[in-house]
Structure 1
Amino acid sequence: MTAAVPAISLRQARVRYGPLEALHGITLTAPGPGLTVLLGRNGSGRTTTLRALAGTVPLSGGAVVWDGVDVTRVPAYERARSGMCLVPERQAVFGSLTVRENLELAAPAPDPALDAYPQLAPLLPRRAGTLSGGEQRMLAISRALLSDARVVLVDEPAQGMSPAVAARTYALLAALDACVVVAEQRLPPALHGARAIVYELRRGTVVFGGEAAELRPRPGRPSIS
């Protein structure tokens, strides 16, 4: 019997960077298994929300609850050991290592990653730092797929990818038996009409929460196309 995939939540979460408050007491829940999208422009707080869930930034108020347990004071490395994987927007791969070495850090055999992204096969001997932006994102997502994590947090997963590869990436993430939370500026075309949960953030607050199919354009909202 496989273990249940837990949800992860923020409850009245606040994050400060010096004198500036980036999150103003936000509450949201990402179910597992399932795909949750944090939507918002730069400065909206979506990246900070991912980091708060991962534990790479501390809360100044509120709580992080994972599988019914308050993990607010649990450090990021302990959350990672318990099955949480964060893929940041930048520096998500080890640039001085080859593509193969990056993959082997996540799993001994890279075959599942190459099945997901065949484009990586001819790049295995290359150093990751020499790859294009889109290729580095494929490599970073591949490492997350190999990690067998219970919670996967990804900041702009399809950045630099072609539309076809971006659609493939979202299909891979949606198929995971995990709680998957992604941050995007706009709702990806692959998710239009999907059952993904969407939270729209603006200036550190949640202004919309619901299914992707419910999201409608309005003045000041990022385009969904």
Structure 2
Amino acid sequence: MTTVSLRHARVRFGPLEALHGVTLAAAGPGVTVLLGRNGSGRTTVLRALAGVVPLAAGTVVWDGVDVTRTPAYERARRGMCLVPERRAVFGSLTVRENLELASPSPDPALDAYPALVPLLARRAATLSGGEQRMLALSRALLSRARVVLVDEPAQGMSPAVAARTYELLAGLDACVVVAEQRLPPALRKRAAVVHELRRGTVVFSGETSEYRRRSAARAGGSTPSA
């Protein structure tokens, strides 16, 4: 099992504090979902885990080891993969060249996303938003990372491809952490851990079933069926 966590983490951008002592954990194999509106801190959590932004206070712990001062490239070398919401592919390279950066054989990625096959010779910058997300996720799938951090993985995808994407992520032998504004339909009936953030703090941590019951109660509706 692989675990990654933030402990009392604070992140500042100039005079503004984006995370206010956040403590949360993710374990794998399995999916952990970070929920929150824009500005809630969910993207900052992913970037802090990956080492892209430094902590002003607190620690990042990976499999029991404090990696707070370990640079992002070293975390990547040890098996941590970050797929950001934007600029997740090399636009000047072709689809094939993007995939070959992750693995000599792109076949597993093309099996996962057959729609990429006719696009192999295209430059990534010419792809649609959904196609770029498929390419970015394909590179993550090929990397065989132990920790996969993805910001809005299904952005721009059709509902069917989005559902397929979450099946692929849930099937990885890795600790998968995804950031979303809302709980994805593909995960509503799947066992996963949810951390909801609001204005840089964690306001809920629990299983998807508990989160759904809580959301229904807040909305004044009945408890959703399992």
Please indicate the TM-score interval, normalised by the length of the shorter structure.
over 0.9
Distance 1:211 1:177 in 2: 20
Alpha-carbon distance in structure 2 between the residues aligned to 1:15 and 1:167: 33
2:105 alignment partner in structure 1:
109
Amino acid at match of 1:154: V
Residues 151-196 of structure 1: CA deviation (Å, up to 9, x unaligned):
0000000000000000000000000000000000000000112111
Question: Counterpart amino acid of 1:65?
Answer: V
Q: Distance in 2 between matches of 1:101 and 1:194?
A: 35
| Partner of residue 183, structure 2 | 187
State the alpha-carbon separation in 2 of the partners of residues 46 and 88 from structure 1: 12
1:207 aligns with 2:199: no
Give the match for residue 80 of structure 2.
84
Counterpart CA distance in 2 for 1:33 and 1:72 is 22
Residue 165 of structure 1 is matched in structure 2 by: 161
In the TM superposition, residue 51 of structure 1 has moved relative to its aligned partner by 0.2
Q: Does residue 25 of structure 1 match 2:30?
A: no
Q: Does 1:68 align with 2:76?
A: no
Q: Does structure 1 residue 95 correspond to structure 2 residue 91?
A: yes
Map of 2:54 onto structure 1: 58
Cα drift, residue 134 of structure 1: 0.2
Q: Which residue of 1 aligns with 2:130?
A: 134
SS at match of 1:21: strand
CA distance in 1, matches of 2:120, 2:56: 42
CA distance, structure 1, for counterparts of residue 190 and residue 58 of structure 2: 31
How much is the aligned-residue C-alpha RMSD, in angstroms?
Answer: 0.7
- Determine the structure 1 residue equivalent to 2:151: 155
Q: Give me the TM-score of the superposition, normalised by structure 2.
A: 0.94
Identity fraction in percent: 81
Give the whole-Å Cα distance in 1 for the aligned partners of 2:37 and 2:89. 25
- Give the TM-score normalised by structure 1: 0.95
Task: Structure 1: state its 5+ residue gaps.
Answer: 220-225
Give the Cα separation in 2 of the matches to 1:171 and 1:94.
25
Q: How far apart, CA to CA, are the structure 1 residues paired with 2:94 and 2:69?
A: 35
Query: Corresponding residue for 1:42?
Result: 38
Q: Which secondary structure state, in structure 1, belongs to the residue aligned with residue 2 of structure 2?
A: coil
Distance of 2:113 and 2:27 partners within structure 1: 27
**Corresponding residue SS for 2:177:** strand
Residues 98-135 of structure 1 deviation map (CA, whole Å, 9 limit, x = unaligned)? 00000000000110000000000000000000000000
**Secondary structure in 2 matching 1:31:** strand
Number of aligned residue pairs: give it: 215
Structure 1 residue 33 displacement after superposition: 1.1
1:223 is matched with: none
Partner in structure 2 of residue 222 of structure 1 = none
